Each structure stands twice: as C-alpha cells, then as structure tokens.
Structure 1
Amino acid sequence: MIGQKSKSKLDWGFLLLLSSSYFSGTIILQGLQSLMPFFQSDFNLSRAQVGLYSTAFFITATIAAIYSGQLVDKIGSKNGMLLSGLMMGIFVILHSLTSSFAILLVFASFTGLGFSVISPALNKAVIDESPPDKVGLSMGIMQSGGGVGSFVGASLLPVLAVAYGWRLAVILAGLNSILILFLVKFKLPDDFGVSNYQNEDQGNLSEKVKLLFANKSMLLVCFLGLILGTSSGTIPNHYTLYLTMDLGFTPQMAGLMLGVLQIGGLFGRIFWAWLSDKLHRNKRHLSFLYLIITISLLYIFYSYFIWRAAALTWLIFIFSFFLGTAAMGWMGLYFTVVGERSSSEMTGLATGLSLIFIRLGVLVSPPVFGLIADQFDHYNYSWLVLAIFTFVGGMILYFQERKI
C-alpha cells in the first residue's frame, strides 16, 4: 500500500496515484468543454446557450460542495475518490445516449455532482500526508494531474469527435474514469484519509461553517476563489469558440490550442505553488498579487492585440500557453492556502466552502462572457470586462488581506 510512508520527504508514488484520479476527472471536465463546437453544431446553439453547459455542470457541484467536503472528512479521501470517479464515469457515458440538449444538461448536472467530491478528497489527502515544508509543491504536483488530463481531454476528444463522432469520444472519457478506480481501490488502504477527529463532537455543519466564516483570512481566500473561478469557467468553455469564430481556426486546430493552454495550466499549478513555497511561504498573498496582475494583463492583451495577429499561428500557441499558466494554473497555490488556513479535521469542509465561491464564478461567467460576445459579434469586449473584474476584485482583496 502507498500513502503510509514517512512525511519527511515527498512520496512520489502517492502523489502519482492522486494525480491519476484528478487526471481522469479533468479529462471529462475539460474534454467535454473542448467539444463545445460540436455541441453547438449538433444542437444548433448560440454562444450564450453553449455557456449553459458549464452552468449545468457546476450548479450541482456548487450546491453540493460544502456537503461533499464534510462527507470526505467523514468517509475519507479514498472513498471520496471512488465515489467521484464512479459517478462521473457513469453520467458522462450517458451523454452519448441523448439527442436533446435539455437532457444533456441534466446529465451534465449529475456529472458535476460527482466532480464536487474529487477536490475535497484529493486536497485533504495532500494536506494530511505531505511534509509541512513541501505542502505547496505537493499540491502543485497533485494538481498537475488535472493539467495533464485537461491537455489530453482538450487535444484528444476533438480529434476523436471528428473521426468517430463526439458520442464515442465521451464514452471513452467515461470508461477511463471508471478504470482509474481500480488503481485507487487496490493501492490505497481502506482507512486512508479518514479523519482522526471524525468521532469527536465538533458541532453540526452550520456551527462549523460559522467557525470558518469567522476566520477572516479564510473568507478572503474564498472571495478570491470567486474571482479566479471566472477564469476556470469562461476560458475552457469559450476558448475553442473564440478561436474558431473570431480567429478563423478549424475545430481541430482550436482543440490543439486549448490543449496547449492546458499544458500551461499544468506548468502553472506547479510553478506558482513552488514559487510561493520558495519566496512567499509566510506571505502567500504576494504570490496572489503577482498572479492577479499577470492574468489581468493577459486578458487585456487578448482584448486588444491577439485578434490582430490571428495569421501568426505560432504566436497564438505561445499565448495560449501563457494564458493557461496564469489563468488556469492557480489551483495548486490556492488550495494550499485553503488547507493552511483551516485545521486538519476540517480540511475537506474548508475545501468545499471555497469551492462554492469558485463555482459561483464558474456558474455565472460563461453565459455572461458569451452574452457580451453575442451582443458585439466578437469576444474583444468579453476579454476586457473579464480583465477589469479580475484586477479590481483582486486589488480590493489584496489590500484587505494586508489589514489583517
């Protein structure tokens, strides 16, 4: 069994197994979002309607987030990973059986319900089992599995959809999620990630939530999640549409560029966490400051300049990587801070609470981003609004953090 070694150094086998679980979940999440042009064509959808898919996926994930976190604290990380993978695998396979976009949205909502469990389970495992001086790096390595899965899903599923149809593509994504469960089942001990505090009287759920809200530093991190969640909602959902409709790329090329963006996200999850461990371990708000500024500048660049350079394919690939590094690479650093600002027995619950704020951003932003694009028949002003929101919101939270 792995996950039972000394906490004095990194357990690479343990981190690889956690990464594989996140890998399977993000193949589904980002892979499905890379299929938006196929959904748009098959179901005859507008940009704003396409944005409803992410809303449906994340609405249940948002509603269930805090309960999922508490559930993980009770049943343990291993059981949480098994439950999440099984639900996602089954319901994404069911996507292939419908010819109605409304029913597709229902299946998306149940897939999102399964996805709501994976982050608390994995984050709790990393916080509980990692060396104290390498928590950020460990979180980044685990989160990198999501980056790899995002790249594979975004790059491979559109290719499979062109060759064999999007329905077969989603079936394969679902089967992958179910197969990963066997590794989790037989490689982790049965009691892995079960809190040592679960039998103590810690009060009911509302009392625990009040305790977390009373922690001002935790509350600021939650609101930061709302801001960063807009990136996770809008970019994967609309990036291929932006590339095909505004810049004129083919769906296959757009899928590859989305894949490069996800590689950037993979790099960013490790880079920002490593940078914070090395330079800002006791002042992680400085890492977030640099991150917010970088994201905002990239959005402005996309608003004013990228569309002018659409003929330079190599440049679009480069900036896809940069955009992914900043706007999609914050998770490792973010969830490290969530874990550090909560007690061990409440890591799952704290993760669930922070996910509510993140997913509120994910829920609201894709339809709004698409609606602005529909009004002007291009995405330039959508990028600009996103830049203003990210920068202003991030600066407000930064100065509030300094007052604590």
Structure 2
Amino acid sequence: AVLLPVLTVAYSWRLGVLVVGILMLAMAFLSFIFYKERPVLPAEGASDAAPTSKKGPKGSILKVMSNPVLLILCLITPLMAFGQTGIASFLVLYLEEDLNFSVGLAGGCLTVAMIAGTVGRIGWGIISDRLFAGDRIIPIIILSVIAFIGALGTAFLSKGFPVWLPFFWSILMGGTFIGWNAVLITLAAELAGKELAGSIMGILVTIAWIGIIVGPPVFGYVADGFGYYWSWLLIAVFALLSAVGFLYILRLSKRGNQEVSVG
C-alpha cells in the first residue's frame, strides 16, 4: 500500500500491480514454510470435545451470534470497511480534482494514510491491552470518534487550507478507517471462544466484505451526483454510528455489572 502510489507515479500502474502480486506470492510461500499450528495437548482436546458433544455446532454458533456485541460488530464492520475502501479508492482523485493537488502530493497523502493504517492495526491492539487492560469496547469508541473527526475534516477541505492539513486528516482516517480491523476482529474472536473462533470470524469477514464491495461504487456515485463533500460526510456518519453502537454496548455491560453486584 505504501509502495503502490510511488511505483505508479514513477513508472506505471502495471509495475505497481506486478510488485504487489510478487509480494503476495512471497508472503504465501513464507507462511507455508514457517507458520506452524500450535499442537493441541490431550487435556485441551478433552476439554474442548466435552461441550461440543453436548451441543451441535449450529446451535452453538446461533447462541454466540445472539450476543449483542457480536450483532453490533456485524452491523459496524461493513460500515468501517466501506470507509476503508472509499479512502483507498478516492482520496487521490479527490485531492487532484477538488484541491488541485499534483499526483505526487495526492499520492503522498494516500501513503501516509496507509502507513497510519499499518501502525493503527498494531497500535490499537497495544492500547487495548496495555492502557485498557484488555477492554476492546472503549478503544473502538475512541477509534470511531477519531475516524469521524478525520472524515468530517476532509469533507470541509478547500483550496484555501494549508497543504499540511490534508495530510493530517489522511493520517487520522488511515489510523482508524484502515486501522480498525485488528481490535474489532480480536473482540469477535474472544467473544466466539476457541471452539467457534473460525466460524464466527468467517461470518464476520463475509459481512465486512459487503462494505468492501459496495463501498467504492456507492462512494463514487455520491461523489459524481452530489460532490465529494457528501461522500466524506457519509463515511463520517458511518464512523459516528460505530461510536454510538459501541457506546450502547458499553452502557449495557455497565448495567449488567451493576445488576450482578446488586444481586
């Protein structure tokens, strides 16, 4: 993601795509050689088999999916994925067409957004583990609010603003809309448990792909019909919905803890 804009501007988009394809093949080969599954100990296998034999996997999946946090995740992930693909697809075009940025300068904004996304995917996990003692909800709320601010700031950009400001908004959007994956996916895996982590993750990622597929055409249609302002405002609203949804979950969890303490 960092190299692609640079290679495209310096050489051609074909070379950029070729390099990305080679890197993907290299990563697949290295994963095949070096990645090993953790061996399952006999005690773990016995403990895992017991609950599975009592309940069918279908019933267990339905029970896990009825968790309100997972339901909120299923609603939020396609919205955040929508924002992610909208940024990746249209940020450069927006800066070129509306703000008269050069291709190199616009590509630089996309580059810093991708770098911020890479840092965010690691950073939000560290923040969740270290600062919030493994709490995933609060970091997701913070992430969503920052994403809202970044998209809203981008919507209000104009030619009179200083050059550094689009870079700043790009960093905010990259660190959140592109960096959201790890902490949300970790939350889903933890809620699913070891037995159903694969199944639940498959469902969640499939739902997220709805936003990935729908995002670029809808973002582009809104930009063509009404202007980029409304496209950025749309993903800002999606980020705000994410924050509101997880604030609701946080309220439910606090209410549940209070009921347990009273009981």
TM-score between the two structures when normalised by the length of structure 2: 0.81
CA 1:166–1:220: 2 relative to 1, 3 Å: same
Q: 2:239 aligns with which of 384, 387, 390?
A: 390
1:300 aligns with 2:147: no
Matched residues in 2 for 1:227 and 1:194: separation?
37
Note the C-alpha offset of 1:244.
1.5
Note the C-alpha offset of 1:209.
3.4
Worse-superposed segment, 293-302 or 355-364: 355-364
**2:61 alignment partner in structure 1:** 209
1:30-73 CA-partner distances (Å, limit 9, x unpaired) = xxxxxxxxxxxxxxxxxxxxxxxxxxxxxxxxxxxxxxxxxxxx
**2:171 alignment partner in structure 1:** 321
Q: In 2, are the aligned partners of 1:260 and 1:320 still within 8 Å (CA)?
A: yes
Q: Secondary structure at the match of 2:2?
A: helix
**1:77 alignment partner in structure 2:** none
The letter of the residue matching 1:395 is V
Q: Secondary structure at the match of 2:105?
A: helix
Instruction: Output aligned runs, 1:124-163, within 5 Å.
Output: 150-153=1-4, 155-159=5-9, 162-163=10-11
1:270 aligns with 2:122: yes
Matched residues in 2 for 1:374 and 1:385: separation?
14
TM-score between the two structures when normalised by the length of structure 1: 0.55
**2:31 alignment partner in structure 1:** 184
Q: Secondary structure at the match of 2:133?
A: coil
Instruction: Output aligned runs, 1:2-401, within 5 Å.
Output: 150-153=1-4, 155-159=5-9, 162-163=10-11, 165-189=12-36, 192=37, 206-281=58-133, 283-304=135-156, 306-309=157-160, 312-376=162-226, 378-401=227-250
* Long gaps (5+) in structure 1: 1-149
Matched residues in 1 for 2:208 and 2:167: separation?
27
Matched residues in 2 for 1:368 and 1:354: separation?
21
The letter of the residue matching 1:171 is L
CA RMSD of aligned residues (A): 2.7
Matched residues in 2 for 1:361 and 1:182: separation?
29
Q: In 2, are the aligned partners of 1:224 and 1:394 still within 8 Å (CA)?
A: no
CA 1:324–1:309: 2 relative to 1, 3 Å: farther
The letter of the residue matching 1:299 is A
Q: Secondary structure at the match of 1:342?
A: helix
Structure with bigger gyration radius = 2
Percent sequence identity over aligned pairs: 26
Matched residues in 1 for 2:93 and 2:15: separation?
21
Matched residues in 2 for 1:193 and 1:174: separation?
29
CA 1:182–1:245: 2 relative to 1, 3 Å: same
The letter of the residue matching 1:331 is N
Matched residues in 1 for 2:173 and 2:242: separation?
19
